[in-house]
Every structure is written in structure tokens, then in C-alpha cells.
Amino acid sequence: MRLWWTTACYELIKYSRMRSVLIILIALPLVLILLLGSAFDTHIKPAKVALHVADRGQMRESIDLFWKDEAITPYIHVLVADSEKEVQDWVSEGIADYGIYVPESFSEKLLAGEMAKWHTFSGRYGEKNMVAEAVVDRYMANVNLNLAAVATFGPNYKPVNEKSGSAMVSGESFLTIGTLDAGDNQVFGKATSMQYYSVAYLIMFLLYGGMSAALALLDQKENGTLQRLYAIPVSFRISVFGIIVGSVLLAALQAIIIIAFTASVYGVEWGRHFGWIMLICLLTVAAGVGLAITIASFAGTSKTTQTLFSILIFTMTFLSGGMIAGIESMIGDVSKWTINYWANSGLRAIMSGNDSLAIWNNIGMLALISIILTIIGIIRLPKVVKQHG
Amino acid sequence: MSLVAFREVVKKYDTALTVNHLTFNIEAGEVFGLLGPNGAGKSTTIHMLSGLLEPSGGDILVDGFSIRKQPLEVKKRIGLVPQELAIYEALTARENVTFFAKLYGLRGQLLRDRVDEALRFVGLLDRAKDKPLTFSGGMKRRLNIACAIMHRPKLIIMDEPTVGIDPQSRNHILESVRELNRLGSTVIYTSHYMEEIEAICSRIGILDQGKLIACGTKDELKRQSGQAEKLIFEIDRAIEPALLEMQEHPGVKHVDVDKNGTVLEITVKESSSILQDLLFIVQKHGINLRKLTRVEPNLESLFLQMTGRTLRDE
């Protein structure tokens, strides 16, 4: 055991010194997950709104109730300021995303039928400004509606929702959120966009990790170190096994870093079955290694292998919806012929807390593919590693 | 018993016979030079000896162990310096040697001592923490050697270890080979450079088209080829009686005179025994000797004579 473990450890040391490999295998997927996950994420984060209400008139109570409404709190986090200047300062310093000042004369002007308005201060983030403005507009629309009703039906008219002075029904959201947990997204299934792309790119880059085993063998054959390994008094199978294990360990490390990082920094919920997740990752890497060795046995050189395998991974990722979410609905069952499909489905089933049967269906298919590709890889391995293969 | 014994070794690729019934011995303590043009079967022979290739027929014994039946025992006794720079650019010099030393089973203090010893031997101990990326071609070649000797093998196989390096590093490597030999290792050395083979090898084998066409010490090979030494006299004038006297000397094989009659090319059996006689003849006839040159037969001409090709023929 010691010798293959020595080889595997030194493989890891070598990888750790190759900055480009680490960037491609670990940093790149994290960046892609962030970019695509954020770009397609319709989940709105709460905007911090600095608020100072100077108005002490009849509308004051309804204004205070409005900002405390449960329907608003998921989208607006109110910071109470002591003055209009403080509201302005907080927005300019970035303490608040948006600022609102309700003038002292607001109630008076409104009830006198004059033009009355809130003073608003936009912050640096357009998305947060939109959220806050939507809330303000909604309040104003309801106030105008009630005033129009009073003008039409007389002063005895009572608004439908006296509590907040708005037409909002408690619990009814006027802002869209983008997870299928809420049951309103046909694209990402039961996952958020961040979850969706975390899975897609974890699997894609684990396959790349599998390719590194075949490339390591070919590179060592090309630069002569494999020849030296043959000449040592150890069965060459042990040396080759050590090199492959080194790449698998790198892929495992890659998976742990991507999962841990996306969970802690991007807030991706991976579910509670870490063991199953690692099993899917391991099966994916095994399939990747088997496939890469098979390609390498025909390609002969590391450059050709890298090109062919990259095209294959790219195609499989595309067909399984890793680049265009929901592509399965356009291409039908073609995606089921990819490694990515079964690995992605398995991970997403774990994330969604599906029942074990649904998870094991995916893991079973992935295992079958991995076993077949590993067997083919083992058969073709001598062509890759033999000196005169 | 010989340290290495080739016994009717054959290697076939499809129908092509790359190594053709090779039989010869290498004794312990020798520096054995293996010569041959490209495609002579030199690399295939070395690959079979170091266990990289399986012979199609015959066997090779190293220290009494068969490469076919006990390959791991054979490999324990061998240190291979491949023609390629078989080192890892991402690892430091020390890590490179340590990695291969661990694969040879060295551990603990012994491992550290042997790694230091190997690096010191090739003059890289002060650069142990550096990566080969920062090394010159010669330093990389020396590291390549360090990775093959740290386990103190009985037999060191060096396959063209001086390809593409500067003269200083080449001298260092040649001196290392002599030192390894003095310390008790047997060395098999292949090179395209005849002068290297002549300088360090105690015995030489010449391979051509998979066959060993000559084997022996340099003197034995010269005798086998029938090549002789030459003495070149540059004189002020030729005198016929002096030429006749030289030609009739029993130690002289042949005398050639250039068209001016001032350069005599005298082929002799052994220069040391007749030089005095020839100088006496020149003096006796009042001839002024301007320059005297002694030309020994070299391996290059020997090789050309035996194979009809130069070593660098494709």
C-alpha cells in the first residue's frame, strides 16, 4: 500500500504546484457558478431602507403600520433615521440601500387635496432601488385609490384594509421570487438557479478532474518519468494505480472545496446526505477517468486527448442542461445518454429532499455507467501506459 | 560469475528482428560502452535489460537473477538513467530524488542520508530546494543521474546521459561515471560521442542491426579490425635511400609520400618500438625533421570500417 500511496501523495504535491490546474479545476467552476447562478437568480434580497417620518398628522399611523406589514418585511429592512440628513448620509455611505423621508406636511397636504409626496434617495444598487421603489409606489397607489374612493363615496367611506391603509392582503406577495420551492419556476426544477448551476458545474469539472488522470499518465510517458517508474522494483500496476489515485484524490478535494464554498459563501443548500453526494462525485470521477483513458488509448498524445475529452465534456454538459437550463424539454431523452444527466439528477434529488428511491434510481444508473466505463478503461489502459504500447 | 549475461536474447516487433540472438557478458566493475547507430537495437537492448520490455526470446541474467523470472530482483540491482530527462519539473531537486528513493523502499534517516549523498555526488546539494525549471540542461542531466543512484545499485545503465549539454557539465558527468565505477558500480554507457566511450569505457560492444558485431577492450577491437598506428613525418626534403631504408624496416607496414615529397605517412605495427630507429634514419641522411605526429586508430574509424556507417547515420 505504501508505494501507491507515495505515488498518489506526490501526484497531489505536483498538482498543488500547478497554479493553472488549480485555477481551472477549482476557481473556474466557482466563478461560473456565481456568474450563471446570479444572472438567472430571480430571488430578491431585502433592501435596507433608511426611513425618517417627520409627519405627525392623521396619516402617521397608517404609514407606521405599512412599514411593519409582514408582506413587506421579506423585501424591505427598515432602518429608522433621526432626520432627513441622516437618511441621505446613510444612503451615500452605503449603510442603507435606499432612503425615504416623509415630510412633516404630508398628511396635511394629502387631506387638503394638494400634491403630497415622499422624498426618496436612490442608492448604488439598481436592483435594490427597484425593490424599494416598488414598495413606495404600491403605498402611494393605495393611498390615491382610497382618496379617490373618499372623493367619490364621501367622507364615510372606509378602506378595505384599514390596518395598513393599503390594498395588500397579508401574505400576498407583489414581488416575484425565483425558486421552484415556491412552485413558480419551470426552468430550474425544484432548485434555485444557484443550486442548479452548482450541481451542473461541479459535475462538469469533476469530469475534467477525471481527465487529469489520463493526462498525467500520458505526460509521464512523454517526458520519460513513466519509463523510470517501470524500472523501479515495483509492479508497474502499483505505480500507475498511484498516479490515478492521485488524480481521484484531487477530484475529491475539488468536490469538497466546491461544495463547502458554495454552501458557505453562495448559500447553496446541498441537502443532508453528504455521503450520497460524495458517492455521486466518486462515481462521476470514476466514469471520467475510464472515459479519458479510453480516449487517450486511441488519441495517443496528451494534447489530442485533452482536446477530444474537453469537447466531449462540453457536449455532455450542454445536452444535460448545464449551459441552457431546461434544454431537456427541447432535446428530449438525448440528455439521458450523458454522465452529467444522472449525476446532476441525483444531486438535485438530494438537494430537494426527494425520497430515497428517486435518489437511488439516479445513483444506480450513474454506477452502471461508471462500472462500464471503468472496465473499458482498464482494458485500454496498457495502450496508454506501455512503453511500446 | 558475470554481473550481466545476455543469453541468445531476441526481440521481435511483428516480423522485424530488432535484437538478433544477442549473447555477451559484462563483468562486475566494468564500464561497458555500447555503441551503435540509430536503429541498431541499442535502446531496445537497454530497455530489455532494465525490465521496460520483455524479450521475445532468450534471457538476461543480472547478478544471477533472470529478467524474465525475477524482474523485481533484477530491478533492485539496477539504476537507470534514461535518455529523456525523467524528472518532475514541479518538484524540487530534493523531492525528485526523495520520491524515487521512497519507491526503492528507502525510509527515515537512511533515506535522507542517501538523498543528500546522491545530490552531493552530482554537485546539486546546494540547489536541493530549487525546482529543475531553474536549472541548466547540464544540471537537469545531473539530477537525472542522482535519481538513479541514490539506492547504490550494482549496475548503472546510462543511456546517452550527455545529450545536449555544455562541455563543463559533460566533464562533470564523465567524472561522475569514473567515480561511480571506483566506488564499485558496474556501468553500461551508451553514447553517440566516440571520445566519451574511449575516455571512460574499459570494454566496448558494437551493435549493428541487432547483432553484436564486435566486443572487447579498445586495443582488442583495434587488433580485431587490423587497423594500425601512423607516424607522420614533415621533412624539408625527401631522399630516396632514406625512404627505402624505412620501408625495409620490419616494424613498418607501409610508407606513403605526398607529391612534394615532404610529408611521409608511415603505417607502423607499434610506434613506441620503432620511433627511435626511424628518427635515426632521418638524422643519418641529413634530413631536417620539421614536425612529427602520431595518429592512433580511433573508434570512429573502427566503427566505420566494421559497419560501413558512421555513428550518426540515420
Task: Determine the pLDDT at residue A385.
Answer: 86
Tell me what ipTM this predicted complex has. 0.77
Q: Are B47 and A387 in contact (CB < 8 Å)?
A: yes
- CA of A15 vs chain B CAs: smallest distance (Å): 8
Range of weakest confidence among A94-103, B243-252, B302-311: B302-311
Tell whether the model's pLDDT for residue A162 goes beyond 60.
Answer: no
| pLDDT confidence bin for A41, thresholds 50/70/90 | low
* Cβ-defined contacts of A129-132 (< 8 Å, 24+): A129/A47, A129/A97, A129/A98, A131/A44, A131/A46, A131/A47, A131/A75, A131/A76, A131/A98, A131/A175, A132/A47, A132/A49, A132/A76, A132/A97, A132/A98, A132/A100
The DSSP-derived string for A245-305 is HHHHHHHHHHHHHHHHHHHHTS-----S-HHHHHHHHHHHHHHHHHHHHHHHHHH-SHHHH
Nearest to A388 among B53, B87, B95 (CB): B53
Identify the top-confidence range among A73-77, A166-170, A331-335, B261-265: B261-265
The residues in A 193-252 lying below 8 A from B, measured between CB atoms, are 223-225, 227-235, 239
Whole-angstrom distance, CA of residue A327 vs CA of residue A361:
21
Q: Over pLDDT 70: what percentage of chain A?
A: 87
Q: Are B103 and A17 in contact (CB < 8 Å)?
A: no
Give me the residue spans of the domains in chain A. Answer: 2-40+186-385, 47-176
DSSP, res B161? T
Task: Determine the pLDDT at residue A156.
Answer: 61
* B307 contacts: CB under 8 Å, gap ≥ 6: B37, B206, B208, B213
- Chain A residues in contact with B75 by the CB 8 A cut-off are 231-233
- Looking at the complex, does the CB of residue A6 fall below 8 Å from at least one CB of chain B? yes
Q: Give, rounded to a whole angstrom, the gap between the first and last alpha carbons of chain B.
A: 37
Please provide the CATH number assigned to the domain covering B4-223.
3.40.50.300
Element (H, E) at B4: strand B4-13
A124 phi, psi to nearest 5 deg: -85, -15
The strand pairing partners of B32, in sequence order, are: B188, B203
Per residue in B166-192, pLDDT (tens digit) is 888 888 889 999 999 999 999 999 987
- Chain A residues in contact with B78 by the CB 8 A cut-off are 231
Q: Are B86 and A232 in contact (CB < 8 Å)?
A: no
Task: Determine the pLDDT at residue A168.
Answer: 40
Burial class (CB in 10 A: 0-12, 13-18, 19+), B126: exposed
- Looking at the complex, does the CB of residue B188 fall below 8 Å from at least one CB of chain A? no
- CA of B122 vs chain A CAs: smallest distance (Å): 18
* B205 contacts: CB under 8 Å, gap ≥ 6: B24, B32, B33, B34, B35, B212, B214, B215
Residue B211 to residues B35, B187, B215, B224, B301, Cα–Cα distance (Å): 11, 21, 11, 17, 19
Please give the average per-residue pLDDT across B136-145, as a whole number. Answer: 91
Give me the residue spans of the domains in chain B. Answer: 4-223, 228-296
Q: Are A14 and B75 in contact (CB < 8 Å)?
A: no
Please give the average per-residue pLDDT across A74-95, as a whole number. Answer: 90
- Chain B residues in contact with A17 by the CB 8 A cut-off are 90-91
Q: Are A224 and B78 in contact (CB < 8 Å)?
A: no
Q: Are B103 and A232 in contact (CB < 8 Å)?
A: yes
Show the cell assigned to B217. Answer: 577492450
Q: Are B52 and A239 in contact (CB < 8 Å)?
A: no
Whole-angstrom distance, CA of residue B162 vs CA of residue B56:
30
Q: Right CATH number for A47-176 from 3.40.50, 1.10.150, 3.40.1710, 2.50.20? A: 3.40.1710
The Cβ of residue B182 has, within 10 Å, a number of other Cβ atoms equal to: 9
Q: Which has the closest alpha carbon to A250: A213, A199, A291?
A: A213
- Chain A residues in contact with B99 by the CB 8 A cut-off are 6, 10
Per residue in A2-19, pLDDT (tens digit) is 788 999 999 999 999 888
- Chain A residues in contact with B159 by the CB 8 A cut-off are none
Q: Are A233 and B99 in contact (CB < 8 Å)?
A: no
Q: Which CATH class is domain B228-296?
A: alpha beta
Q: Are B90 and A7 in contact (CB < 8 Å)?
A: no
Nearest to B51 among A7, A223, A230 (CB): A230
Element (H, E) at A80: strand A76-80
Higher pLDDT, B147 or B229: B147
Per residue in A190-215, pLDDT (tens digit) is 667 888 889 999 999 999 888 899 99
The residue type found at A275 is: G
Higher pLDDT, A309 or A183: A309
The Cβ of residue A226 has, within 10 Å, a number of other Cβ atoms equal to: 26
Nearest to B90 among A18, A232, A387 (CB): A18
Helix (H, G, I), strand (E, B) or coil at B131: coil
β-pairing, B263-268 with B229-235?
antiparallel
- Looking at the complex, does the CB of residue B163 fall below 8 Å from at least one CB of chain A? no
Nearest CA in chain A to B131: A17
Task: Determine the pLDDT at residue A105.
Answer: 87
Tell whether the model's pLDDT for residue B26 goes beyond 50.
Answer: yes
- CA of B277 vs chain A CAs: smallest distance (Å): 57
- Chain A residues in contact with B95 by the CB 8 A cut-off are 10, 13
Q: Over pLDDT 70: what percentage of chain B?
A: 97
β-pairing, B4-13 with B16-26?
antiparallel
Q: Which stretches of B51-184 are DSSP H helices?
A: 71-76, 93-103, 108-121, 137-149, 167-182
- Chain A residues in contact with B84 by the CB 8 A cut-off are 223-224, 227
Whole-angstrom distance, CA of residue A108 vs CA of residue A28:
58
Q: Which has the closest alpha carbon to A16: A385, A4, A8?
A: A8
Tell whether the model's pLDDT for residue A157 goes beyond 60.
Answer: no
The strand pairing partners of B59, in sequence order, are: B7
- Looking at the complex, does the CB of residue B262 fall below 8 Å from at least one CB of chain A? no
Task: Determine the pLDDT at residue A186.
Answer: 52
Task: Determine the pLDDT at residue A296.
Answer: 93
Please give the average per-residue pLDDT across B49-59, as a whole number. Answer: 91
Please give the average per-residue pLDDT across A39-50, as a whole number. Answer: 74
- Looking at the complex, does the CB of residue B251 fall below 8 Å from at least one CB of chain A? no
The DSSP-derived string for B277-314 is HHHHHHHHTTPPEEEEEEE---HHHHHHHHHSS-TT--
Higher pLDDT, A182 or B233: B233
Tell whether the torsion through CA atoms of A323, A325, A331 and A335 is positive or negative.
positive
Task: Determine the pLDDT at residue A1.
Answer: 60
- Looking at the complex, does the CB of residue B102 fall below 8 Å from at least one CB of chain A? yes
Show the cell assigned to B82. Answer: 534514461
- Looking at the complex, does the CB of residue B84 fall below 8 Å from at least one CB of chain A? yes
Q: Which has the closest alpha carbon to A67: A126, A118, A121, A125?
A: A118
